[in-house]
Amino acid sequence: MSEPKRLLMIDDDPDFVAGIKAILVKAKYEVDVAYNPKDGFQALKSKPYDLLLLDVMMGRGAEGIMIARKLGKDPKLRELPVLIITGIREQMAFLFPGQAVHPHFVPVDELVEKPVAPKLLLEKVEALLKTAEMRKAKSK
């Protein structure tokens, strides 16, 4: 069996993080957590990850979006797939329920709404990892 995939989660709500992390750990992922954007970016720089789970509405305003933008500009980090977890979908006004939204901050990303059902979470994570791997294989 291959190495477990390593995920990083950046979210400032420890309780919410616990609820997500438990699901991922049970599914044999290795999960690191950063509770603020600064630590999160530090972690991304210091260690290789296979996927990032990102809350876009941390603290005052959309600090998570800043991270996503920064990633998009970084030639190495922009290849990291990102699952954006958000509570603000209703503010994006009248999106059709169930429809996938691709924020396109980085080449491989997707958006899910808080709270996330375990099955949906695992499906999205798997799909993103697979897409990123295929992209990597193609570019080689």
Partner 1 sequence: MQPKHRILVIDDEEVVLDSCTQVLADQECQVTTAGNGAQGLKLVAESQPDLVFLDLKMPGLSGFEVLERIRSEHPLMVVIVITGYATVSSAIEAMKKGAFDFLPKPFTPEELRLIARRGLEHNRLVQQTVALRREKEMLRENFAAIVSHELKSPLGALQQNLYALTDELAEHLSADQKERFARLKTRLDDLLKLIHSWLRVFSVDIHKLKETFQPISVADVCAKAVETAQQHATRKAIRIQSSIVEPLPRIQGDEGSLVEVVVNLLNNAVKYSFPNGSIRVRVEAQGPQVLVSVADTGVGIAKEDLPHLFQDFARGHSQPEGVSGCGLGLAISRRIVEVHGGSITVESAPGKGSTFTICLPVAQAAPESSPTPERKV
Residues at the interface with partner 1 (CB under 8 A): 13, 15-16, 18-20, 22-23, 26, 57, 87-88, 90-91, 93-96, 114-118
> Which residue, 37 or 80, has its beta carbon nearer to partner 1?
37
In whole angstroms, the minimum distance from the beta carbon of 72 to partner 1 comes to: 19
In whole angstroms, the minimum distance from the beta carbon of 30 to partner 1 comes to: 17
- CA angle 2-16-65, nearest 5°? 85
> Which residue, 44 or 64, has its beta carbon nearer to partner 1?
64
In whole angstroms, the minimum distance from the beta carbon of 128 to partner 1 comes to: 19
> Which residue, 23 or 66, has its beta carbon nearer to partner 1?
23
In whole angstroms, the minimum distance from the beta carbon of 99 to partner 1 comes to: 8
* Identity of residue 9: M
The phi-psi region of residue 114 (left if phi > 0; otherwise alpha if psi is between -120 and 50; otherwise beta) is beta
> Which residue, 80 or 112, has its beta carbon nearer to partner 1?
112
> Which residue, 18 or 134, has its beta carbon nearer to partner 1?
18
Which helix (H) or strand (E) element contains residue 9? strand 6-10
Contact 57, 11 (CB under 8 A): no
Tokens of 75: 């030639």
In whole angstroms, the minimum distance from the beta carbon of 14 to partner 1 comes to: 9
Q: Which residues have C-beta within 8 Å of that of residue 50, sequence separation ≥ 6?
A: 5, 6, 7, 80, 81, 129, 132
Contact 45, 70 (CB under 8 A): no
